[in-house]
Amino acid sequence: MKQTVVVFYGGKSAEHEVSVVSAFSVIKALDYNQYHIQPMYISYEGVWIKGPLLLEPVANAEQLKFTISDTDEMLLGDGVKTASVGVKTTIGELTKIANVIAFPVLHGPNGEDGTIQGLFETLNIPYVGANVIASAAGMDKIISKEIFTAVKIPQVPYVAVRNVDWEDRRADMVAAIAALTYPVFVKPANMGSSVGISKVTAEAELEAAMAEAFLYDRRIVVEQGVTAREVEVAVLGNERPEVSVAGEITPEGESHSFYTYKAKYADSSTQLVIPAPLDEGVYEQIVAYAKKAYIALDGTGVSRADFFVTADNSIYLNELNTMPGFTPVSMFPLLWAESGLPYDQLLNRMIELAQARFAQTA
């Protein structure tokens, strides 16, 4: 009996659009001979819509249950639409499917943060990717930094600020931040895709950057900025994680003082260099830190470990992303392709890892 792979995408998140693009590629690449594939779109409001395969252009705009953003359309190309003519459904539906496996392709809060993973756990539904704890810890930049500090992985200096601290003890917070050297990066603790992040070059800009980040979270991390290359590796596995070759991001062009949302998804001038040229010993060190970070968060399935590498080869872990971007031009699948695991085989491997983990705990 064929396994039914339910691909969840969209979601109640500021990274909704990125998820749609990633999921679309996954749905197209999954092996239809091996699996029965069921797309499951989650609207911005959190409504679940069970859709058809979403591979055909949509004939009639009236049929659209959700609209296509400019970004999606641009990235997907002509004739390929993400519109669903699906029907509203609920979690109960999922429990009725025999031999089901969930494949969440959801970025940001409510998808990457352990919440939907917890739902699958309670329903005994195997699911692809990071488990509850790795998802929750990896999504929270403050928690993950504290765990990485505990296992002695080098990171840039930072200050954590809660909204109540910013209201009640602002002078203390500003003083703590003043101990960092500008520029600093102001980030919501729970977000991704650079949403809500500002590069702040002087104290005068701090106020506005904090206000922006507080739009997304009650907790903020203010980080020492580094002048460094951005080098990433992909991690795959459960107990014995494997690490891919390294890749480098080189954002270029007008407003790219850092790797912004636009640079990540909408700008062809952003280049991925795979494998990244690294001095001797640097790659090995990165691999060691990536494994250590993955194990520290109890990673399962996949993650992408992102590092800063300075001109003098200081290595800092920036973050672990438990739900890396998954379009065919995303770093994560390209790193595996370069490491000998093409996109479709990578998906199969991820499904196998989910089954293996579930078989262990069932």
Tokens of 77: 């190309």
Q: Which H/E stretch holds residue 251? A: none
Number of residues that bind ligand ADP (CB under 6 A): 18
| Cα–Cα separations (whole angstroms), residue 357 to 63, 74, 199, 258, 324 | 39, 37, 40, 37, 20
Per CB under 6 A, 15 contacts ligand ADP: no
| Cα–Cα separations (whole angstroms), residue 153 to 204, 223, 231, 322, 353 | 32, 16, 15, 18, 26
Per CB under 6 A, 318 contacts ligand ADP: yes
Binding segment for ligand ADP (CB under 6 A), chosen from 20-28, 63-71, 218-226, 346-354, is 218-226
Per CB under 5 A, 321 contacts K ion: yes
Residue 133 CB, nearest approach to K ion (Å): 14
Per CB under 6 A, 185 contacts ligand ADP: yes
Direct distance between the N- and C-terminal alpha carbons of the chain, in angstroms, rounded to an integer: 20
Residue 172 CB, nearest approach to ligand ADP (Å): 22
* Residue 337, Cβ density class (10 Å: 0-12 exposed, 13-18 middle, ≥19 buried): middle
Per CB under 6 A, 226 contacts ligand ADP: yes
Tokens of 30: 């999954």
307: closest CA among 281, 330, 325, 283?
Answer: 283
100 in Cβ contact with 55 (< 8 Å): no
Euclidean distance between CA atoms 95 and 90, whole angstroms:
10
Binding segment for K ion (CB under 5 A), chosen from 132-140, 208-216, 218-226, 349-357, is 132-140
Binding segment for K ion (CB under 5 A), chosen from 79-87, 133-141, 145-153, 351-359, is 133-141
Residue 108 CB, nearest approach to ligand ADP (Å): 9
Near Mg ion in 289-328, by CB under 5 A: 319, 321
When binding is defined by CB under 5 A, the residue of 192, 196, 301, 333 that contacts Mg ion is 192
Binding region for ligand ADP (CB under 6 A): 156, 185, 187, 191-194, 197, 223-226, 230, 258-259, 306, 318-319
Residues that bind K ion (CB under 5 A): 138, 319, 321
